[in-house]
Every structure is written in structure tokens, then in C-alpha cells.
Amino acid sequence: MKNLNPAIRKKAIDIANAMVEEGYRENQAIPIATEQAKEWFDHATDAEKQATSD
């Protein structure tokens, strides 16, 4: 995850943490969360991206 854009990394961590809380194992949650965060980034507004990277 360290090679990801900071906004994508933050969103991926948020998603992965939520997935783990729902019962996913960490090794399953991380790749799913990373892909979802990348998709989110592609569709997010500049304001959303900025708010996430703060």
C-alpha cells in the first residue's frame, strides 16, 4: 500500500478496517479494499480526494 497515492491509501485503509470489523480476514480485505479505493478515486471529485488525503 505504501506505493499508492495518499488519498487512495487512506480510503483503502478505511475500507479494509470496515471489512475486518464485519468479519473479513485481513488478507482478504486488503486487496478488495485497494481495488475499491482505486475505483473510488477514479470517480471522486477533487474536493473528495482532498478531504480524504488530509
* pLDDT tens-place string over residues 18-35: 999 999 999 999 999 999
Answer whether residue 36 is part of any domain: yes
Answer whether residue 25 is part of any domain: yes
Answer whether residue 35 is part of any domain: yes
Task: For residue 48, count other CB atoms closer than 10 A to its CB.
Answer: 14
Cβ atoms of 14 and 29 within 8 Å: the answer is no
Answer whether residue 38 is part of any domain: yes
Query: Any idea how long the chain is?
Result: 54
- The total of structural domains in the chain comes to 1
Average pLDDT, the chain: 93
Alpha helices (runs of H) in 1-54, residue ranges in sequence order? 6-21, 26-43, 46-53
Instruction: Specify the pLDDT at position 1.
Output: 77
Instruction: Specify the pLDDT at position 40.
Output: 96
- For residue 54, name the pLDDT band (cuts at 50, 70, 90): low
Its domain, for residue 27, covers 6-43
Answer whether residue 54 is part of any domain: no
Answer whether residue 50 is part of any domain: no
Answer whether residue 26 is part of any domain: yes
